[in-house]
Amino acid sequence: METPHIIAWLIGYGFIGITCLAAIEKFVPLFPSYVLLMLLGMTIPDTYNLIAIIAATTLGSTAGACCWFAIGRTLGGERVAIKVKRYGKFIFLSTRLYDRLTNAYRRNHFWVTLVGQTIPTARVYLALPAGILKLDFLPFSAATLLGSLLWNAPFLFLGYLLRTSRYDPYEAGFWAAVCLLGLETVIVAVATIYRRRPPRQIRLADTIVKNDMTMKQSREPNRQSIPIQGPSTS
């Protein structure tokens, strides 16, 4: 069964099917979740169903993240690192990304989890290192729930608006998806360039050294060659 048929089949089961679809998306990121959410929003007939589907996708996303949390907690850091190195490339999880997600938890756990749910790719795998580090489950799940709501609701609402607009919904949805993909590409490119810059401390140290050398050079006397005159003969 092809992916579109699987999605249509799950949607046919209503609230439960959409919840399962959102949970599966955490494990099989075949295409950006915002495209799926926007297209899903274009199938919503009224405001009541919009609220219900926002709730369903939020619960599904949270459930999927909790599964990753359980996997990380069960396997432990060493075994997960080996699995990521061996199989991560098949699910778009590089060793570098995994290390960055793990290091992110050196800061505030709640806010890292909440904000991480609004960042593409990171929102899929952030729960894995959270489980390895054995974070408190209740704050983690609460932050994941809120972050998933902040991520899902705008894209579902956008799809709903496109469906009810005077424009052709499929054409409008296509161009909206293209714009979102383009925006993500720009953000990733800017982030990559920013990460390749030397750390601020190094740049600041270089500036201080250069300024210090300039000041020393300005303080040195201007050494000009003075001609040596021999004894005058008269």
For the stretch 25-76, pLDDT in tens is 888 866 778 888 888 888 888 889 999 999 999 999 999 999 999 999 999 8
When pLDDT is cut at 50, 70 and 90, the band that residue 142 belongs to is: very high
**What was the pLDDT predicted at 192?**
59
Per-residue pLDDT at 174 = 61
Which value, to the nearest 10 degrees, does the dihedral of the CA atoms of residues 16, 18, 19, 22 take? 160
Cβ atoms of 115 and 85 within 8 Å: the answer is no
Q: How far apart are CA 66 and CA 213, in angstroms?
A: 56
Q: For the chain, how many helices (H) and strands (E)?
A: 12, 0
Overall average pLDDT of the 160-165 stretch: 79
pLDDT at 165: 67
Q: Is the pLDDT reported for residue 177 higher than 70?
A: no
Cα torsion 196, 199, 202, 208 to 10°: value is: 110
- What's the pLDDT score for residue 30? 64
Q: Parse the chain into domains and list their residue ranges.
A: 3-202
* Per-residue pLDDT tens over the stretch 83-105: 888 888 777 788 888 888 888 88
C-alpha angle 102/123/10, rounded to 5°? 140
Listed residue (135, 146, 156) closest to 68, CA to CA? 135
Using the predicted structure, report yes or no on whether residue 152 has a pLDDT greater than 90: yes
Cβ–Cβ under 8 Å, residues 127 and 100 = no
CA 204 to chain centre: 28
Instruction: pLDDT band for 234, please (50, 70, 90 cuts).
Output: very low
